[in-house]
Amino acid sequence: AQVVQADFVKSSVRTEDCPSDGLPEFALVGRSNVGKSSLLNSLVRRKRLALTSKKPGKTQCINHFRINDSWYLVDLPGYGYASAPQELRTDWGKFTRDYFVNRSTLVSVFLLIDASIPAKKIDLEYASWLGQNQIPMTLIFTKCDKRKKKKNGGKRPEENVSDFQELICGFFQSVPPWIMTSSVTNQGRDEILLHMAQLRNY
């Protein structure tokens, strides 16, 4: 399940503009600063690949990376820049929402959650929206290498993870699959790639 080839393909602003070759895809999304670029780079074992999507103007787009010429990793805009707690219901979130609902080749959304801090309201809202709309989702907990800090509520990543799962279980019919990761130690890297391979083969 390793990545041997990764190519940036295109940035799209609308679902209709996304690649139309029918290859299966997985979308990475999360609050800005959650560690999405780091994870993307760790998955493809390459430094700076995701920087392509960090160029001005690209961060608000749907960015497609073709992997091994057979599937896509999709980098979606980070949410939570604005203080508005209802971003998914605003214009700002309209096109990602449209993408989630209408992109037929989307196999699963990988929702990134920072495990080094207590659950954030906006993450819970995002997870709840995906659950209500029955979008297949995998929870990716990031920064699991970080030790507990008093200012972060003093909890270990494992405790934040189980708190989060407890808070969202009401939104889903069954508990979504979840993986603990760190881009520093590469924890979870192979597990994510294996999980994606299994989902593609369904």
- For ligand GDP, which stretch binds (CB under 6 A), given 90-98, 132-140, 180-188, 191-199? 180-188
User: What are φ and ψ of residue 183, in 5° steps?
Assistant: -80, -10
Which C-beta is closer to ligand GDP: that of 64 or that of 143? 143
- Binding string, 84-113, against ligand GDP, x = CB under 6 A? ------------------------------
Task: Give yes or no for a contact between 85 and 125, defined as CB atoms under 8 angstroms apart.
Answer: yes
Question: Which residue's Cβ has the minimum distance to ligand GDP?
Answer: 35
Structure tokens at 70: 């057979």
Does 156 engage in binding with ligand GDP (CB under 6 A)?
no
Q: Which of 1, 10, 13, 32 binds ligand GDP (CB under 6 A)?
A: 32
Task: Give yes or no for a contact between 93 and 125, defined as CB atoms under 8 angstroms apart.
Answer: no
Q: Which of 11, 18, 27, 37 binds ligand GDP (CB under 6 A)?
A: 37
Does 182 engage in binding with ligand GDP (CB under 6 A)?
yes
- For ligand GDP, which stretch binds (CB under 6 A), given 34-42, 82-90, 170-178, 188-196? 34-42
Does 189 engage in binding with ligand GDP (CB under 6 A)?
no
Does 142 engage in binding with ligand GDP (CB under 6 A)?
yes
Separation between Cα atoms, residue 132 and residue 172, nearest integer Å: 7
185 CB-contact burial (10 Å; exposed 0-12 / middle 13-18 / buried 19+): exposed
Separation between Cα atoms, residue 37 and residue 40, nearest integer Å: 5
Separation between Cα atoms, residue 66 and residue 144, nearest integer Å: 27
CB atoms < 10 A from the CB of 100, how many?
22
Residues that bind ligand GDP (CB under 6 A): 30, 32-38, 78, 142-143, 145-146, 182-184
